């Protein structure tokens, strides 16, 4: 995993880069003032497509977990995201997502038992400072409703990211199926709300259809599969520090394609946010340490030469410890028993 770690980070980073184009596509190609319908069309077709490819349904408690994750990562996140996109300039709306590392650092302390290091906190503050430099200097007036919607969408997805890391995946289920469950659940959650609030779907021209196809396939199906795949193999903090790539992409697209001005202060803020993204990837490598699964203490490994209380060595052979047996649960490389506990060798009985 060590040699593939840069590739894994790069592939996961494609997700926020893709999401950074959402704001330009929304404002330039899609019908105005339809955040719920836009979120629905983006999520549900992508979820059903991935579900047909994965051909795996949730079982047991995972019906509820998939619904919760789908609500946080998709069902609530998408409408809030598009509401902010409709009310704010592209760069201003997207950069608010850079405060995600601070949300995740706090939630990971409570839900994952990961205490943030001073470097993590300083890096998160640097990302937030970069956000403020771009937001406060962005062209156009700051719409309070749009700003709060962008902030709420960030909080929703940050919570979903940490819970996705905490719960992991059922045994034998890959990231494709997990992505399909969440997109489908989120889309089904938005469907009745969109119909009640926004009424019948609007008429779509070729430009709008092309925009929705792009959002559903590249921007959602592929991007979210890469994102949840990365969550399973990297720490929650590392993944969320890739988030500032979305506002950076949005700001660049807004400048290059939409003619939105960028001041020198904004450029400095973008550089600061990008530096925080890079620094956030220099954390400890999770594949080389034994960590405790949330709520489940690790079972101690049996000693290499067990000794009975009377001082006689036991006749049982030394247990073999496989390399994967010290890895924390919740990652794709972890082997778990059906109960969800770590599959570590039990202590020999005397």
Chain segment 250-260, per-residue pLDDT in tens: 778 888 887 77
pLDDT of 171 higher than 50? yes
What's the rounded Cα separation, in Å, for the pair 88 and 260? 12
What average pLDDT does this structure show over 23-32? 87
pLDDT of 142 higher than 80? no
What's the rounded Cα separation, in Å, for the pair 95 and 266? 11
Kindly report which listed range (23-27, 154-158, 197-201, 336-340) carries the lowest average pLDDT score: 336-340
Predicted structure pTM score? 0.73
What's the rounded Cα separation, in Å, for the pair 46 and 21? 17
In the chain, % helix, strand, coil (3-state, to 5) comes to 65, 0, 35
What average pLDDT does this structure show over 3-32? 87
The closest alpha carbon to 12, from 334, 343, 332, belongs to: 332
Q: Are 346 and 329 spatial neighbours (Cβ–Cβ below 8 Å)?
A: no
Question: Which 3 state secondary structure label does DSSP give 121?
Answer: helix
What's the rounded Cα separation, in Å, for the pair 189 and 44? 10
pLDDT of 63 higher than 70? yes
Cα dihedral across residues 216, 28, 18, 77: positive or negative:
negative
What are the residues whose beta carbons fall under 8 Å from the beta carbon of 216, sequence distance 6 or more? Answer: 41, 42, 43, 45, 46, 49
- The first and second tokens of residue 205, run together, are 């021209």
| Confidence at 296, pLDDT banded by 50, 70, 90 | very low
Q: Are 34 and 198 spatial neighbours (Cβ–Cβ below 8 Å)?
A: yes
What average pLDDT does this structure show over 270-292? 65
């Amino acid at each position: 995993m060590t040699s593939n770690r840069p590739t894994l980070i790069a592939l996961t980073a494609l997700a926020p880069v893709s999401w950074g184009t959402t704001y330009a596509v929304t404002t330039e190609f899609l019908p105005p003032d339809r955040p719920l319908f836009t979120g629905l069309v983006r999520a549900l077709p992508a979820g059903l497509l991935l579900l047909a490819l994965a051909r795996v349904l949730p079982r047991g408690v995972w019906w509820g977990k998939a619904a919760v994750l789908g609500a946080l990562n998709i069902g609530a996140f998408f409408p809030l995201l598009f509401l902010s996109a409709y009310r704010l300039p592209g760069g201003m709306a997207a950069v608010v997502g850079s405060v995600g590392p601070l949300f995740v650092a706090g939630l990971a302390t409570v839900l994952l038992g990961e205490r943030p290091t001073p470097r993590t906190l300083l890096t998160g503050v640097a990302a937030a400072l970069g956000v403020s430099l771009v937001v406060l200097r962005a062209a156009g007036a700051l719409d309070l409703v749009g700003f709060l919607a962008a902030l709420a969408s960030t909080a929703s997805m940050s919570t979903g990211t940490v819970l996705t890391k905490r719960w992991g995946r059922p045994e034998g289920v890959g990231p494709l199926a997990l992505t399909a469950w969440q997109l489908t659940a989120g889309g089904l959650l938005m469907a009745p709300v969109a119909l009640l609030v926004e009424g019948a779907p609007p008429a779509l021209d070729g430009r709008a259809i092309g925009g929705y196809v792009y959002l559903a396939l590249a921007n959602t199906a592929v991007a979210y599969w890469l994102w949840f795949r990365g969550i399973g193999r990297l720490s929650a903090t590392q993944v969320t520090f890739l988030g500032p790539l979305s506002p950076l992409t949005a700001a660049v697209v807004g400048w290059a394609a939409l003619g939105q001005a960028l001041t020198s202060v904004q450029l400095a803020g973008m550089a600061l946010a990008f530096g925080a993204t890079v620094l956030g990837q220099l954390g400890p490598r999770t594949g080389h340490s034994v960590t405790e699964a949330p709520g489940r203490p690790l079972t101690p490994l049996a000693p290499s030469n067990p000794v009975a209380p009377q001082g006689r060595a036991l006749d049982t052979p030394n247990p073999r410890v496989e390399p994967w047996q010290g890895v924390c649960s919740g990652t794709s490389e972890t082997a778990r028993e059906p109960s969800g506990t770590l599959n570590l060798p039990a202590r020999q009985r005397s």
